[in-house]
Amino acid sequence: MQEPKQIFMSIVEKAATDADFRDGLLADPKATISREFDVTIPDGLRIVVHENDADTVHLPLPAKPQILEEGQLDQVSGGVCQC
């Protein structure tokens, strides 16, 4: 089984050379990826495909970092012992 990063690279490469695959990604990315790469995509996972053109560039941002509160920071840094 391919790793997610390998699958991503394969998707981008295939979309660059296969117009039908590219159209499928834009219309129904989950079904197209599942079918082409024989992977199961969880129901709760949303996949959105954007296509750049001469007038539009999409800039993906990473997920917002989870901000821990002071008490949570102490726990993950070893500041609390629940022995």
> Taking the CA of residue 46 as centre, how many other CA atoms within 13 Å lie in the half-sphere pointing to its CB?
1
pTM above 0.85, yes or no: no
Residues 30-71 have pLDDT tens digits of 999 999 999 899 999 999 999 989 999 988 888 888 777 777
What pLDDT sits at residue 3? 82
Residue 1 confidence class, pLDDT cut points 50, 70, 90 = low
Confidence of residue 74 (pLDDT cuts 50, 70, 90): low
Q: How far apart are the first and last CA of the chain?
A: 41
Structure tokens at 29: 């990315």
Question: Is the model's pLDDT at 22 over the cut of 90?
Answer: yes
Q: Which of 62, 27, 64, 19 is nearest to 48 (CA)?
A: 27
From 19, 26, 28, 36, select the one nearest 58 (Cα to Cα). 26
Q: Are 43 and 34 in contact (CB under 8 A)?
A: no
